[in-house]
Amino acid sequence: MPKITYNDNQGNSKTIEVENGLSVMEGAIQNDIPGIDADCGGSMACATCHVYVEEKWLNKLPKVEEAEVDMIDMAYEPKKNSRLSCQLIVSEELDGLIVTTPSKQS
């Protein structure tokens, strides 16, 4: 199973195995990773699963849709490498992905 690393802004880090087909958000919620709220449950309506993706992974991720960028506008301190983790579906290609959660989600 692909390994995903979740860093928080305090420097804590957790690497977990996430099943193929789940989103990076679901991997976090199922494993009690703090820092990802996912209030809307993955319907791209709340921007509380916002993460920063390590730069080198940006091109390997599914393309950002307009609706996601609009939602990221609402997120807490968005940056160039911001994504909504509910839109990142885990696959073997993402094995080793590192994401960092913002200092808060709202």
Partner 1 sequence: MKKTDTIIIGAGPVGLFAVHQLGIKGLKSIVIDNLDKAGGQCIELYPDKPIYDIPAVPECTGEELTNKLLEQIKPFKTEFFLNERVEEVKQDKENWIVKTNNNNEFSAPNIIVAGGVGSFEPRKLTAKEAEKFEDKFLFYAVKDKEQFKNKNISIFGGGDSALDWALELSKFSKINLIHRRDEFRGAPHTLSEIKKLEKEGKIFIKTPCQLESIEGKDKIDTITIKFDSGKTEQIKTDVVLSFFGLIMKLGPIAEWGLNMNKKTIEVNSKNFETNKKGIFAAGDICSYPGKLKLILSGFHEVALAAVECFKRARPNEKYRFEFTTSSKTIQSRLGKK
Residue among 83, 59, 86 at smallest CA distance from 72 = 83
> Would you count residue 64 as binding partner 1 (CB under 8 A)?
no
Q: How far apart are CA 31 and CA 26, in angstroms?
A: 8
Q: How far apart are CA 79 and CA 70, in angstroms?
A: 13
> Would you count residue 58 as binding partner 1 (CB under 8 A)?
no
Number of residues assigned to the chain? 106
Among 22, 25, 33, 46, binds partner 1 (CB under 8 A): 46
Among 17, 19, 65, 70, binds partner 1 (CB under 8 A): 70
Q: How far is the CB of 45 from partner 1 (least distance, A)?
A: 4
Among 9, 55, 62, 74, binds partner 1 (CB under 8 A): 74
* Alpha-carbon separation of residue 51 from 62, 72 (angstroms): 15, 10
List interacting residues with partner 1 (CB under 8 A): 37, 39-41, 43, 45-48, 66, 69-70, 73-74, 76-78, 80, 106
